[in-house]
Structure 1
Amino acid sequence: ILRLCAWYAAGTGAYSGYPPHERIPAQFLDLENHTDFARAVDLADDAAIAGAVRYLISWDTRKRLARLLSALSPAARRKVLVHARDAESRRWLERRIAGLQ
């Protein structure tokens, strides 16, 4: 999962864009259990956490977003917010995380 996230982090451009190379790691990340994804985020280095953020914000992940965010520990949620690329993405994630309670 960490390597898939790091691969996903190689994306360029806006989070809302869809660089074609993201499709391959996304297909595998989509198959991962949300608790395994959460454990990986806890262990992630900067490259992997950047990819996890890109994955969480991607349009296709939104069907799974609540489950993925719910599985994250409070420390992992903070890590995700810190590594959001811009203020708009950070606010979007903060609203989703706040909506879990």
Structure 2
Amino acid sequence: MTLIKWSDEGGTVRLGLPSDLDLAMAQPLLDSLRAGFAASQAVIAEAAAVERVSTACVQALLVASRHAAEQNRTFAIAQPSEVLAEACEDLGLDGWLKQWSQA
């Protein structure tokens, strides 16, 4: 299993999302989010570096937000890149991104 680089900062797992979140990265992203929630009650996906994103990776982030809401955990997408914001808008998920993002 390949995981995206992450760190634990004071009980919060921070995932440093790579610049390329293409289809091949969907499973590693999902595995990394699962590992993050297994290690902590709070997961933050650092998204400023994202330059390319697939629908499957957006879906993985959406699943993480639903999991957090259902389990009363914390999830946020920190500094979503313009590319990620545009992809979410194209998918009709701009409201979702605003709800789950941090500046």
Q: Which has the higher helix share?
A: 1
Same-fold status (TM-score > 0.5): no
TM-score of the superposed pair, with normalisation by structure 1: 0.45
Q: Flag the structure with more relative contact order, 1 or 2, with Cα contacts below 8 A and sequence separation at least 6.
A: 1
